[in-house]
């Protein structure tokens, strides 16, 4: 695991954090990050990993937001994800950037990081950011909430 050094390949055209082909996961402390990294590599994960402490997240990743939402909010969710990272890093959470190799399976990544107390994980793919740790809606909950309005921004600052 190397230290995270943010470069232009990890941002979108507007400069907002968007490391396509990577998972960015957040953990309560550095020890959990190190354990998740070891678990990933023991499971045969081939991608490179990079560690980001709370200060790196707040100073480097959050800085990429800049004026991305001015004058209008972004069409995509990248700004919302960065704000979620900022909230977690502000309370001391640490990050792990996981490069996805051609033969790496996302299910194996989730299986490796979940037992190590990952609190959030975002898989950045072309045009899609997948929130890997949001529990799926159960059939019973779906039946109860069938008439509730649905939104792609539930759980982000955009829904406030």
Domain that holds residue 60: 2-135
Alpha-carbon span 31 to 152, nearest angstrom: 33
Alpha-carbon span 60 to 4, nearest angstrom: 10
Q: Within a domain: residue 148? A: no
Q: Which of 146, 131, 14 is closest to 68 using CA atoms?
A: 14
Q: Within a domain: residue 69? A: yes
Helix (H) or strand (E) holding 143: helix 139-144
Q: Within a domain: residue 115? A: yes
- Output the pLDDT for position 103: 86
Q: Within a domain: residue 156? A: no
- Output the pLDDT for position 101: 86
Alpha-carbon span 16 to 8, nearest angstrom: 9
Alpha-carbon span 33 to 41, nearest angstrom: 12
Alpha-carbon span 135 to 133, nearest angstrom: 6
| pLDDT tens, residue order, the chain (160 aa) | 999 999 999 999 888 999 999 999 999 999 999 999 999 999 999 899 999 999 999 999 999 987 544 444 554 678 889 999 999 999 999 999 999 988 889 999 999 999 999 999 999 999 899 999 976 555 555 555 555 444 444 444 444 4
How many domains does the chain fold into? 1
Helix (H) or strand (E) holding 94: strand 94-99
Q: Within a domain: residue 144? A: no
158 secondary structure, DSSP code: G
Residue 25 vs residues 49, 74, 132, 146, 151: alpha-carbon distances, Å? 11, 22, 9, 31, 23
CB neighbour list of residue 157: distance below 8 Å, 6 or more residues apart: 80, 83, 84
Please state the pTM of the whole predicted model: 0.79
Q: Within a domain: residue 154? A: no
Alpha-carbon span 81 to 12, nearest angstrom: 13
């Amino acid at each position: 695991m190397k230290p995270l050094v943010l470069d232009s390949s990890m941002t979108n055209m507007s400069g907002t954090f968007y490391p396509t082909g990577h998972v960015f996961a957040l953990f309560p402390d550095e020890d959990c990050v190190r354990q998740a990294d070891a678990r990933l590599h023991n499971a045969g994960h081939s991608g490179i990993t990079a560690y980001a402490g709370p200060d790196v997240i707040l100073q480097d990743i959050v800085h990429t937001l800049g004026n991305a939402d001015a004058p209008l909010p972004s069409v995509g969710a990248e700004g919302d994800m960065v704000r979620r990272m900022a909230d977690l890093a502000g309370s001391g959470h640490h990050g792990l950037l996981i490069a996805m190799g051609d033969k790496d399976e996302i299910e194996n990544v989730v299986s490796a990081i979940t037992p190590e107390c990952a609190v959030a994980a975002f898989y950045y793919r072309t045009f899609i950011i997948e929130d890997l740790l949001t529990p799926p809606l159960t059939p019973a909950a779906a039946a109860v909430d069938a008439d509730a309005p649905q939104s792609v921004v539930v759980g982000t600052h955009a829904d406030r």
